Amino acid sequence: MALTTAFVNTCRSAVLAPLAELTAFRAALAVAQSGTRATRVAAWYATYSSGTDGLSPAYNLRRAVRDVVNAKADAAGTMSPSERELAYQQLVAEVVPDTSRPISDAEEATALETLIREDRLS
């Protein structure tokens, strides 16, 4: 079976149902995108990085998306591993945005000093 828009839409509907993992990720991401710089950095790590207290919400959502794709592909019949991976990659890109880590105060100060130094030298 070839990867079709209908298959991806079926998987998307299951993911957006919403999954508990999607709800947890969206809540963590909202915290990571608000507040002071220090809290945003800490919240970004809590959202995207696995720590000592378990797996991150982003990881859990990616795993849930893979489970949905595999279950729907098994139910649909023959689907190659590459087609499953394409569907997974497309859905993960939609629901788990890969945002870069916010810079810390120290990193911003270093970058600002570099810019000032370069401006003075020019």
CA 16-22-26 angle, 5° bins = 115
What whole-number percentage of the chain has pLDDT above 70?
A: 96
Report residue 49's pLDDT band, with 50, 70 and 90 as the boundaries. Answer: confident
- pLDDT tens digits, one per residue of 6-15: 899 999 999 9
Lookup: tokens for 44: 């970004």
Specify the number of domains making up the chain: 1
- pLDDT tens digits, one per residue of 16-48: 988 999 999 999 888 888 878 778 888 888 888
- pLDDT tens digits, one per residue of 113-122: 999 999 888 7
What pLDDT score does 35 carry? 77
Lookup: tokens for 90: 């497309």
**E strands within 17-109?**
none
Place of tokens 């299951």: 14
- The pTM score is 0.79
Residue numbers of the domain that contains 23: 5-121
Q: Within 10 Å of residue 116's Cβ, how many Cβ atoms?
A: 10
**CA distances to 4, 36, 38, 112 from 33, in Å:** 34, 9, 11, 22
Q: What is the mean pLDDT of residues 68-91?
A: 91
What pLDDT score does 62 carry? 95
- Average per-residue pLDDT in the chain? 87
Rounded Cα distance between 19 and 27, Å, is: 13
Cis peptide before 18 (omega within 30 of 0): yes
